[in-house]
Structures are given as structure tokens and as C-alpha cells.
Structure 1
């Protein structure tokens, strides 16, 4: 996943990714790489370093 902080000239562009259920999907905190672990649904959240803004992406993991 990729997150873009707006405005593009904001002083702090740092964000962190997290998952609502690490038994279903993992996410690297800095890069935002999501890996499916088990079938189900999870939310991937990105939060600005200052905590002022968040965005959520709902993912559905299905069997191969």
C-alpha cells in the first residue's frame, strides 16, 4: 500500500501502517506491504506520525 500525505509540502511526511487482525493479514509498519495469512477480513490503517490523520483500507482475503 502507498500513502501520500497532503499537502505534498507538509513538514512531516512520516506515516505508520497497522492491521486490525494480525492472524489474517500482516503489514510492514513503514513500507505498507500487506501479506495474507488466512482467509477473512481485516482493516489496514495508516496513521500520520503526529496522529492527526488516518485512513483505512478494508481487505478481504480469499482462498487461492
Structure 2
């Protein structure tokens, strides 16, 4: 599946998730565009840490 994160807005992503969480008998908690922004920021930070670029210091992991 091609990447689409840069092609739809945070609100559109939240709307898709809301639909999935409230359809077909699902009763998941609803989310907002702010929740999507927060999740994107956390994912970006986690990816940086995994790559060794999201840490203060050398990035080698030795300063953890």
C-alpha cells in the first residue's frame, strides 16, 4: 500500500478512525485531530530514538 500520510489531513485521519471505531458494532473511544497530531509526534520521536537521532548527546545510546 502506498504511503498516504502526507496526502490527508489530521482531521481526515481522525474521521476515518472514528468511523472504524463506531461502525459494525464497535464501541471504541472517539478521537480528535489533536489526538492524531499527538500520535504522529510520538511516532516521529520513537522513530528518531530507534535510529539513534532522537536522543540528547551522541546518539549512540550510551547516554541513556
TM-score by length of 2: 0.22
Q: Which has the higher strand share?
A: 1
Larger radius of gyration: 2
**Which structure shows the bigger proportion of residues in helix conformation?**
2
- The normalised TM-score by structure 1 is 0.22
